[in-house]
C-alpha cells in the first residue's frame, strides 16, 4: 500500500475514531485502495456507509455533474458536493468531519483546477470540515519544475490580486534565477506597476506607469503578445535606446539581460506583463524561455481567475443593490425614501463620491430634490441647468471625463473647482420616453465612467423615474378624490339642509295654517255674531303674520347661504338702533310681565351699517330672550365700547336659564335648540343673525352660565367718527 493511500486513511480515521464522519471523493481505484486500508484496520465500512458516517463518491462522476463545457459551475457544485458535505456534517452531530478530494487532479486546465479547489476549500471552511486535497497525486519532479508547480499551487490558492503579485515576486526570482522582477497590469492604455522585488530599485528606476504604445521592452511584449528577450545591455540599447538610458541612469551594473513577457489570458486578452532582470550577459535557451512563458501564463490565469471572480462578485453586488432598490420602490409610497436609496445604490455601484437627483418643476426648471455631499453654493449655481428639455425624446447619458479639459464646461469650471468635482455624469430620468429629471454622479478625480457603471446608474434612474411618476399619479388621484369628496359632502349637506328646511317649514306652517283654515271655515259655513267675527279675524291675522315671518326667515336664510345678503350701508348712531328695538318689543315685554330697559353709554361713534339689517339682528336676539325669560325677569339691551372687539358692541342680556358651555358653540347653528328648550320657532333666527353680522364684517357671540342668564353680543365692524 502506497504512502499516499496510508495518509488518506489516517486522515479519515482521525474523524471516525472520535465518532465523527468522513467523506472521500476519489477515482474508483483510489476508493478501493483506501477501503482496503480501512478494512485492514478493522473499520466496519458497510455499517458506516449505511449510517451515513462514511460517504464515498466517484470523483469522475461528481466532476461530470458540475461541469459546463470546460468550466466548473458553482451552482452545480453547490447542488452536488456542497449539499453532500452539509448532510455529512449534520449526521456528525457536532463530532469532527474529515474529507479528502481528488477532484483537482482530474481537471486539465489551471483555471478549472483553481476554481474547483477554491470552491472546495470555501465549502469546507464554512462547514468547519478538516480537508485534505490531492494527496494521492504523484510527486512532482524536482528542481525548476518543482518550483514552478509550487508557484502554480500558490497562485491557485491566492484570493486577491495582491496575493498573486506577492507570491509571484516571492517565488519567481528563485524559480528563474533572476536578480529582479516587476509585475504590471493593464489599465486604460497604460501599464501600471503592481509590485516589484526589493532588489529591483537598486538596478532600475522606481516603477512608473508606461504607455502601452511606448518604446520599452514590456510595452512591446504587451502589444505583440510575445516575449521580448534581450541577452545583454548592448542589445537592450540598440533595441530600446530611450528605455536603456533611463535604466542606465539609475542602475549600478556593467551588463544586464532582460526578459519581458505578457500576461495572456485564456481568451487571448492581455492582462499585463512581467519583467525579469539578469545580472550580466544571459543567453536564454529555448527551454528557459518556455519556462518563463509557462510562469507568465500561470500568473495570467491566476489574474484572470480573480478578474472573473471580481466580475462575478461585482455583478452579484450590483444585483443586490438593484433588488433592494426595487423592493423599496414596491414597498413604499415615499418618493424621498426611493431617492435616498437610489443615491446610495449609484454611489456604491458606480463608485462615485457624491450624487444628486433633480426634477423638473411646474415651470420646467430642473430643481434639486435629493443629494449627498453637495454645498448650498454649488446647488444654487447649477440648479436649472439640464442637457435636455422636458420635450427631449429618448435622451442619452452625458459624461464629462475631466472638467478641466472639457471646453463645453468652461463657464462652470470655477464652480467645479470650488466643489472639488473633476468628472461627472448626467443620467436622464425618463418615463414613457420623456424626461422628468436627471440623476447626477460626481467624482473628485478625473476619469471615465465605465459602460457597466453607466448601465447600473441608468437602471437606478429608471426606477427613480417610476417612483416620481407613481407619486405624481397618487397626488393627482388624491386631489381628484378630495374634489369629488368635497362635492359629495356639499351635495349631501345641501340635501340635508333641504330636508331640514322642508321638515321645519311643514311643521311650523302646519299650526298657523290649521288655525287660519279653522277660522275661515267658521266664517264661511255658518252665521257668526259680529263680536266673534272680529275675534276670529284677529286670530287669522296673527297666524298669517306668523307664517309671513317664517317665510321671511327662509328667504333671509337662503340669501345668507348663497352669499347674496344685500346691505345698504349708511352712518347710524347706535341709539337709533337700540331705540327702534325698544319700540318694537316694549309692549310685548310688559304684557309678559318682564322688565325691559335700554342702556347706552354716552359718546359712542356712529356705525356704518344697514340699519334695517342691524335692527333685524337685535330683534332676533330680543325675540329669543322674550321666549326663554320667565315672568318677573328682565331684559336689557344697549350698546357700549369694548376695545377687544371694536369701538361699538351691541348686546341683549336676559335673566333666563342660561346656556351650558358645551351648547354655546352651537346656538348659532340652523334649527338647533337646547335639550331643555320649550319655546316654538323656526330655529333660524340666530343663524340669520350670524349671517347678517358676518356680511357686515363683524362678530356675534354669547357669554352665559347655567342659571345666570345669557348675554348676546355683536359688532358691525365699520364705524365712523363720533357725532
**pLDDT single digits (tens) 700-720:** 999 998 889 999 999 987 555
The pLDDT of 576-605, averaged and rounded, is: 90
Residues 6 or more apart whose CB falls under 8 angstroms from that of 549 comprise: none
Phi and psi for 652 in degrees, rounded to 5? -135, 120
* Long-range CB contacts for residues 383-391, cutoff 8 Å, separation at least 24: 383/358, 386/358, 386/360, 386/426, 386/435, 386/438, 387/426, 387/438, 388/428, 388/435, 388/438, 389/364, 389/435, 390/360, 390/364, 390/434, 390/435, 390/436, 391/434
Helix (H, G, I), strand (E, B) or coil at 354: strand
The residue length of the chain stands at 723
C-alpha cell read off for 111: 483555471
Q: Are residues 578 and 444 in the same domain?
A: no
Distance CA 524, CA 63 (A): 121
Does a structural domain hold residue 507? no
The confidence band for 723, taking pLDDT boundaries of 50, 70 and 90, is very low
Instruction: State residue 400's pLDDT score.
Output: 92
Does a structural domain hold residue 500? no
Helices (H), 83-196: 83-92, 110-126, 144-157, 161-176
Q: Given a cut of 60, is residue 677 above it in pLDDT?
A: no
The CATH number of whichever domain residue 124 belongs to comes to 3.40.50.300
Q: Given a cut of 50, is residue 255 above it in pLDDT?
A: yes
How many CB atoms sit inside 10 A of residue 152's CB?
22
Q: Given a cut of 60, is residue 562 above it in pLDDT?
A: yes
Instruction: State residue 668's pLDDT score.
Output: 86
* Phi-psi label, residue 296: left if phi above 0, alpha if psi -120 to 50, beta otherwise: alpha
Q: Given a cut of 50, is residue 1 above it in pLDDT?
A: yes
Of 528, 561, 594, which residue constitutes the final position of a domain?
Answer: 561
Residue range(s) defining the domain that contains residue 699: 570-722
User: pLDDT by residue (tens digit) across 16-64?
Assistant: 998 999 999 988 888 888 888 898 888 888 888 888 899 888 888 888 8
Q: Are residues 367 and 303 in the same domain?
A: no
Q: Are residues 150 and 129 in the same domain?
A: no
Does a structural domain hold residue 325? no
List C-alpha distances in Å: 164 to 108, 186, 296, 370, 406. Answer: 21, 15, 12, 42, 38
Select, from the ranges 57-66, 254-263, 714-723, the one with the highest average predicted confidence (pLDDT): 254-263
List C-alpha distances in Å: 194 to 217, 300, 313, 686, 716. Answer: 17, 13, 22, 93, 90
CB 609 within 8 A of CB 711: no
The pLDDT of 504-515, averaged and rounded, is: 63
Does a structural domain hold residue 323? no
Strand order of the β-sheet with 54-58 is: 54-58, 21-26, 97-101, 130-133
- Greater model confidence, 72 or 655: 655
Distance CA 23, CA 632 (A): 112
Residue with cell 351691541: 650
Q: Are residues 305 and 440 in the same domain?
A: no
Q: Are residues 104 and 157 in the same domain?
A: no
Q: Are residues 654 and 671 in the same domain?
A: yes
How many CB atoms sit inside 10 A of residue 47's CB?
10
Distance CA 187, CA 529 (A): 127
Of 133, 159, 194, which residue constitutes the final position of a domain?
Answer: 133
**Helices 530-561 and 451-525 sit at what angle, rounded to 10 degrees?**
170
The CATH number of whichever domain residue 252 belongs to comes to 3.30.450.40
Q: Are residues 355 and 463 in the same domain?
A: yes
Q: Given a cut of 70, is residue 550 above it in pLDDT?
A: no
Q: Are residues 428 and 388 in the same domain?
A: yes
pTM: 0.39
By C-alpha distance, which of 283, 262, 260, 284 is closest to 271?
262
Q: Are residues 706 and 593 in the same domain?
A: yes
Q: Are residues 20 and 74 in the same domain?
A: yes
Does a structural domain hold residue 498? no
User: pLDDT by residue (tens digit) across 383-433?
Assistant: 988 898 888 888 889 999 999 998 888 999 999 999 999 999 999 988 878
User: pLDDT by residue (tens digit) across 313-334?
Assistant: 666 766 777 777 777 666 666 7
- For the chain, the maximum distance between any two Cα atoms, rounded to a whole number of angstroms, is 159
Instruction: State residue 110's pLDDT score.
Output: 63
Task: State the sign of the Cα–Cα–Cα–Cα dihedral 474, 480, 485, 486.
Answer: positive
By C-alpha distance, which of 188, 170, 174, 154 is closest to 302?
154
Q: Are residues 7 and 155 in the same domain?
A: no
How many CB atoms sit inside 10 A of residue 316's CB?
10
What per-residue string of b and e applies to 373-392 under the rule 16 or more CB within 10 Å gives b?
ebeeebeebbeeebebeeee
Does a structural domain hold residue 501? no
Q: Please state the domain count of the chain.
A: 5
The CATH number of whichever domain residue 586 belongs to comes to 3.30.565.10
Q: Are residues 441 and 527 in the same domain?
A: no
C-alpha cell read off for 668: 348659532
Instruction: State residue 423's pLDDT score.
Output: 93
* C-alpha triplet 613, 615, 618: angle, nearest 5°: 115
Distance CA 26, CA 106 (A): 9
Instruction: State residue 136's pLDDT score.
Output: 35
Does a structural domain hold residue 318? no
Of 89, 109, 133, which residue constitutes the final position of a domain?
Answer: 133
C-alpha cell read off for 313: 462578485
Does a structural domain hold residue 493? no
Task: Report the chain's mean pLDDT, rounded to a whole number.
Answer: 82
User: pLDDT by residue (tens digit) across 137-191?
Assistant: 333 333 555 666 677 777 877 888 888 888 888 888 777 878 889 999 998 788 9
Phi and psi for 251 in degrees, rounded to 5? -90, 155
Residue 523: exposure state from Cβ atoms within 10 A (0-12, 13-18, ≥19)? middle
By C-alpha distance, which of 73, 77, 6, 82 is closest to 37?
6
Instruction: State residue 443's pLDDT score.
Output: 93
Select, from the ranges 71-80, 343-352, 412-421, 686-695, the one with the highest average predicted confidence (pLDDT): 412-421
User: pLDDT by residue (tens digit) across 331-370?
Assistant: 666 778 888 888 888 888 888 999 999 999 888 899 999 9
Amino acid at each position: 500500500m502506497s504512502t499516499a493511500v496510508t495518509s488518506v486513511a489516517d486522515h479519515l480515521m482521525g474523524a471516525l475514531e472520535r465518532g465523527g464522519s468522513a467523506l472521500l471523493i476519489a477515482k474508483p481505484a483510489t476508493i478501493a485502495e483506501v477501503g482496503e486500508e480501512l478494512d485492514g484496520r478493522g473499520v466496519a465500512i458497510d455499517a458506516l456507509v449505511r449510517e451515513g458516517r462514511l460517504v464515498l463518491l466517484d470523483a469522475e462522476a461528481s466532476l461530470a455533474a458540475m461541469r459546463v463545457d470546460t468550466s466548473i459551475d458553482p451552482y452545480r457544485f453547490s447542488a452536488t458536493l456542497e449539499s453532500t458535505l452539509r448532510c455529512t456534517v449534520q449526521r456528525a452531530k457536532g463530532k469532527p468531519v474529515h474529507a479528502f478530494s481528488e477532484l483537482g487532479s482530474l481537471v486539465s486546465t489551471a483555471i478549472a483546477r483553481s476554481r474547483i479547489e477554491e470552491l472546495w476549500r470555501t465549502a469546507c471552511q464554512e462547514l468547519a470540515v478538516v480537508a485534505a486535497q490531492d494527496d494521492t497525486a504523484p510527486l512532482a519532479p524536482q528542481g525548476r519544475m518543482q518550483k514552478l508547480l509550487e508557484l502554480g499551487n500558490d497562485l491557485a490558492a491566492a484570493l486577491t490580486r495582491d496575493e498573486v503579485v506577492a507570491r509571484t515576486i516571492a517565488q519567481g526570482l528563485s524559480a528563474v534565477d533572476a536578480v529582479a522582477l516587476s509585475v504590471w497590469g493593464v489599465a486604460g492604455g497604460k501599464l501600471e506597476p503592481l509590485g516589484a522585488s526589493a532588489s529591483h530599485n537598486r538596478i532600475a528606476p522606481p516603477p512608473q506607469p508606461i504607455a502601452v504604445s511606448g518604446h520599452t521592452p514590456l510595452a512591446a511584449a504587451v502589444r505583440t503578445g510575445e516575449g521580448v528577450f534581450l541577452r545583454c545591455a548592448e542589445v537592450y540599447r540598440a533595441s530600446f535606446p530611450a528605455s536603456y538610458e533611463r535604466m542606465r541612469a539609475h542602475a549600478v551594473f556593467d551588463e544586464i539581460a532582460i526578459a519581458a513577457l505578457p500576461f495572456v489570458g485564456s481568451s487571448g486578452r492581455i492582462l499585463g506583463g512581467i519583467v525579469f532582470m539578469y545580472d550580466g550577459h544571459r543567453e536564454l535557451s529555448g527551454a528557459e524561455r518556455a519556462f518563463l512563458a509557462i510562469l507568465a501564463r500561470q500568473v495570467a490565469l491566476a489574474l484572470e481567475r480573480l478578474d472573473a471572480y471580481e466580475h462575478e462578485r461585482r455583478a452579484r453586488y450590483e444585483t443586490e443593490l438593484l433588488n433592494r432598490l426595487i423592493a423599496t420602490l414596491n414597498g413604499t409610497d415615499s418618493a424621498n425614501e426611493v431617492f435616498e436609496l437610489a443615491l446610495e445604490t449609484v454611489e456604491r455601484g458606480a463608485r462615485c463620491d457624491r450624487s444628486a437627483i433633480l426634477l423638473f418643476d411646474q415651470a420646467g426648471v430642473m430643481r434639486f430634490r435629493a443629494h449627498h455631499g453637495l454645498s448650498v453654493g454649488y446647488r444654487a449655481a447649477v440648479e436649472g441647468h439640464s442637457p435636455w428639455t422636458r420635450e427631449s425624446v429618448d435622451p442619452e447619458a452625458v459624461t464629462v471625463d475631466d472638467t478641466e479639459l472639457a471646453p463645453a464646461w468652461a463657464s462652470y469650471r470655477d464652480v467645479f473647482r470650488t466643489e472639488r468635482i473633476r468628472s461627472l455624469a448626467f443620467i436622464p430620468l425618463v418615463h414613457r420616453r420623456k424626461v422628468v429629471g436627471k440623476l447626477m454622479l460626481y467624482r473628485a478625480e478625473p476619469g471615465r465612467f465605465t459602460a457597466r457603471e453607466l448601465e447600473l446608474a441608468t437602471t437606478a434612474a429608471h426606477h427613480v423615474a417610476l417612483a416620481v411618476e407613481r407619486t405624481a399619479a397618487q397626488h393627482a388621484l388624491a386631489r381628484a378624490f378630495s374634489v369629488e369628496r368635497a362635492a359629495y359632502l356639499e351635495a349631501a349637506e345641501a340635501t340635508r339642509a333641504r330636508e331640514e328646511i322642508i321638515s321645519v317649514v311643514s311643521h311650523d306652517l302646519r299650526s298657523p295654517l290649521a288655525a287660519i283654515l279653522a277660522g275661515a271655515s267658521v266664517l264661511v259655513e255658518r252665521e257668526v255674531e259680529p263680536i266673534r267675527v272680529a275675534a276670529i279675524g284677529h286670530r287669522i291675522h296673527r297666524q298669517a303674520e306668523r307664517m309671513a315671518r317664517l317665510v321671511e326667515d327662509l328667504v333671509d336664510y337662503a340669501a345668507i347661504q348663497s352669499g347674496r345678503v344685500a346691505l345698504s350701508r349708511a352712518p347710524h348712531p347706535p341709539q337709533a338702533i337700540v331705540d327702534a328695538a325698544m319700540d318694537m318689543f316694549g309692549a310685548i315685554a310688559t304684557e309678559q310681565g318682564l322688565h325691559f330697559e335700554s342702556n347706552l353709554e354716552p359718546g359712542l361713534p356712529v356705525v356704518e351699517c344697514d340699519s334695517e339689517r342691524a335692527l333685524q339682528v337685535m330683534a332676533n336676539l330680543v325675540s329669543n330672550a322674550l321666549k326663554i325669560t320667565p315672568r318677573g325677569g328682565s331684559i336689557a339691551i344697549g350698546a357700549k365700547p369694548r376695545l377687544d372687539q371694536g369701538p361699538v358692541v351691541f348686546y341683549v342680556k336676559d335673566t333666563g336659564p342660561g346656556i351650558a358651555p358645551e351648547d354655546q358653540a352651537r346656538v348659532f347653528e340652523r334649527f338647533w335648540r337646547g335639550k331643555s328648550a320649550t319655546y316654538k320657532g323656526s330655529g333660524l333666527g340666530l343663524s340669520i343673525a350670524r349671517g347678517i353680522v358676518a356680511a357686515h364684517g363683524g362678530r356675534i357671540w354669547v357669554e352665559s352660565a347655567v342659571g345666570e342668564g345669557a348675554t348676546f353680543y355683536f359688532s358691525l365692524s365699520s364705524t365712523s367718527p363720533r357725532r
